[in-house]
Structures are given as C-alpha cells and as structure tokens.
C-alpha cells in the first residue's frame, strides 16, 4: 500500500470536452485514495464549448486552469504540472474514467523503488467487441485481426504501456488483446500519457513534455528521455482506466496522420541511434514517394484521395524544416545511452 502521507496532483487536459468530462472527473472524485491528499487540476486547452465554466460549476473542488489557445497535449500537461506541487503527478485522458483503486495502485507501484520515474496503467477500451470482416471499423490489431463494437462481445485492451520499433514507431503494447490475456512484464519501454503516474523529481531531471510536438508522440519522447537518463518505467496491472478511444480526436483524419508521421521521425532524430534515425527517415521518404508516384500513374482521383500525395509531401517539407532543431538535442545524450535504450526496440 502507498504511504498515506503522499500528496498527488491529477492533471486532466481537455479540449472541447464538455460532453464527456463529467464522467472522468466523477471517477477521480470517487477514488479510494485519501481525498485530502489529491488535487484535481483540469486544464482547459483553449476550448470553445465552455468546458472550463462547466467544470467550475459542476465540480467546485477541481482547480480549473484555462489556456487562451490550444497549445497541444504536452503544453496542456506542462501547464497543469506547473500549477501543482505534489511529488507524484497522475495523468488521465479527459475521455477516460478511472477504477476506484486507480490512484492507489499507481502510487503504490511508483513507490516500490526510487529509481522508477513513471508507472503506466492498464487501459481498457470502453464497451465490448467482436471480430469483423471489414477493415473500415478502425480497430485493427498488430497481427491483422479486425474488431468492431458489439453488445455481446469481449472487452479489449487499449494499452499496457508503450513499445518502440526499430524505425522509431511508437505503439501501445497489447493493443486489442482480450482483457483476460496473460499479463505482460512489469518493465516496459514507456508510459502512455492517457493514464500514468510520473515522479516530479524525475521530470526535474529530464525535462517536461516537449511542446514542439503539439500532439502525438509526446509520451514516446518523454519516455525515451527518461530511459536515456537511466530511470525505470513500470506497468501496474491493477491500476485500471477505461478509455473511449478517439472520443477527443479523430485517429483517421489527415491531421492525425500528419502529426503522427512527422513527430515519429522527429522523436527518432532526437533520441535514437543512427540506425533508428535512418530507418525512421527512410520509412517516411519511401512512403511519401510511393504514394506520390502511384497517384501520378493512377491519374485524376475523385474525393479527398487526391490530397494524400500533397499531404505526404508536406510531411517531408516539415521534416526538412524542423529536423535540425531536434538533431541539436542529441548533444544532451551519449551514443552509449542511445544504444542502451535501443535494446527495447522491436521488429516492425
């Protein structure tokens, strides 16, 4: 059990989250952890739907911090962390809800060793699922299984932490595996920003979230930096959160794909070995050229598909412009540490 004198700051970042923030905050207000030791901080990240005013009215014990503009997930979390003072910082997505033991289990796991910088939770997708024959559902596992929501089905995992591939591709461990699958190892490459606990002293050591990334790969980058500095990251199977996947963002949108592809390469440039950087850039370049050449042979296309080659080329232009500043950050780590952390990489 965690020390009952340990204060915890819980940071929730929301953007136009009024329709689902109540369930998230109510689950945090109903935790079994001593209420007087928990500070709930809601960062309204430039919303236009009155989220901040709504939370002030319906959850008066929650500290609301309103940003004038949406600076992205990392900026929102950094703002929330700066408004607290507790040594342990818990993160939870605004479109998620926490099991009553969520905070207790995260704190207990973090306190097992002073060398642990972060603990990632078990995130379960809301609802139940059954196999599907259509790839249009948006729920495709790494091994090719396709799932769709169903009234009578099985619960599936969203994440048990982050993994990294040899081309710098970050992904959720155990994505779409049945919840009753055998538990994975406690040691994991990274934490997911959707449900985790962080040690403030570790953040003081390695730095906070990189706000240049705006959205996606912020947690991969911070996990990588934590690993490079010699800290540990663990998984707590008893710390459970339920996530409405993509309730706060559209994972199929061009904007998602653009940020995801660009940031994947930038984070690899910043933290990876030369081999990882080469593979990350090669993957991005080949994918862009393949689509561009393929679309030229295909001729004129109807609908939004004709914009995809242009979007891919915009990713390359952005990388050329931004890569030098991320490459300069490599001076903060040694080749030896980068190769040590590369041992966590997996095949594609």
Select from 193, 217, 243 the last residue of a domain: 243
More confident residue, 143 or 82: 82
The pLDDT tens digits for 79-121 are 999 999 999 999 999 999 999 999 999 999 999 999 999 999 9
Residue 42 lies in a domain: yes
In order, the DSSP letters of 179-242 are: TTSPP--SB-SB--TTEEEEEHHHHHHH-S--GGG-SSSHHHHHHHHHHHTT-EEEEEEEEEEE
Statement to judge: residues 35 and 134 lie in one domain: yes
How would residue 133 be classed by pLDDT, with cut points 50, 70 and 90? confident
Kindly tell me if the per-residue pLDDT of 303 is higher than 70.
no
pLDDT value at residue 297: 46
- CATH code, 227: 3.90.550.10
Residue 2 lies in a domain: no
Query: What domain range is 148 assigned to?
Result: 8-243
How would residue 347 be classed by pLDDT, with cut points 50, 70 and 90? very high
Per-residue pLDDT averaged across 128-149, rounded? 87
Select from 243, 262, 277 the last residue of a domain: 243
Per the structure, the count of domains in the chain is 2
The C-alpha torsion from 59 through 64 and 68 to 73, rounded to 10°, is -100
End-to-end alpha carbon distance in the chain: 38
Select from 215, 243, 271 the last residue of a domain: 243
Residue with tokens 């080469």: 278
How would residue 302 be classed by pLDDT, with cut points 50, 70 and 90? very low
- Token pair, residue 298, equals 């295909």
Statement to judge: residues 61 and 193 lie in one domain: yes
Q: In terms of pTM, does the model score above 0.85? A: yes
The pLDDT tens digits for 168-182 are 999 999 999 999 999
Statement to judge: residues 27 and 163 lie in one domain: yes
Residue 1 lies in a domain: no
Statement to judge: residues 270 and 128 lie in one domain: no
Statement to judge: residues 120 and 183 lie in one domain: yes
Residue 22 lies in a domain: yes
In whole angstroms, give the CA distance from residue 163 to residue 347. Answer: 10
- Token pair, residue 111, equals 């306190």
């Amino acid at each position: 059990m965690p020390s009952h004198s340990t204060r915890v700051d819980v940071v929730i970042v929301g953007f136009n989250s009024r329709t689902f923030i109540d369930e998230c905050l109510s689950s945090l207000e109903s935790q079994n952890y001593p209420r007087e030791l928990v500070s709930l901080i809601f960062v309204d990240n430039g919303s236009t739907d009155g989220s901040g005013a709504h939370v002030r009215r319906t959850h008066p014990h929650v500290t609301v911090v309103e940003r004038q503009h949406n600076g992205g997930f990392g900026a929102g979390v950094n703002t929330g962390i700066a408004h607290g003072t507790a040594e342990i910082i818990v993160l939870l997505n605004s479109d998620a809800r926490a099991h009553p033991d969520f905070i207790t289990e995260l704190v207990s796991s973090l306190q097992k060793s002073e060398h642990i910088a972060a603990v990632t939770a078990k995130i379960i997708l809301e609802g139940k699922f059954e196999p599907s024959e259509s790839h249009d559902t948006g729920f495709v596992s790494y091994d090719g299984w396709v799932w769709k929501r169903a009234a009578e089905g099985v619960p599936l995992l969203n994440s048990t932490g982050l993994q990294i591939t040899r081309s710098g591709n970050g992904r959720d461990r155990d994505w779409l595996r049945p919840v009753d699958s055998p538990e994975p190892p406690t040691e994991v490459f990274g934490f997911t920003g959707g449900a985790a606990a962080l040690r403030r002293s570790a953040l003081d050591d390695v730095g906070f979230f990189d706000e240049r990334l705006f959205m996606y790969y912020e947690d991969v980058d911070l996990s990588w930096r934590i690993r490079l500095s010699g800290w540990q990251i663990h998984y707590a199977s008893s710390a459970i959160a339920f996530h409405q996947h993509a309730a706060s963002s559209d994972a199929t949108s061009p904007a998602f794909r653009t940020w995801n592809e660009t940031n994947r390469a930038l984070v690899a440039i910043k933290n990876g070995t030369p081999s990882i950087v080469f593979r990350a850039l090669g993957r991005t370049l080949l994918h862009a050229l393949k689509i561009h050449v393929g679309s030229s042979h295909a001729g004129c296309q109807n609908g939004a598909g004709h914009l995809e080659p242009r979007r891919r080329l915009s990713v390359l232009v952005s990388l050329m412009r931004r890569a030098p500043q991320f490459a300069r950050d490599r001076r903060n780590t040694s080749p030896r540490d980068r190769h040590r952390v590369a041992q966590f990489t997996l095949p594609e």
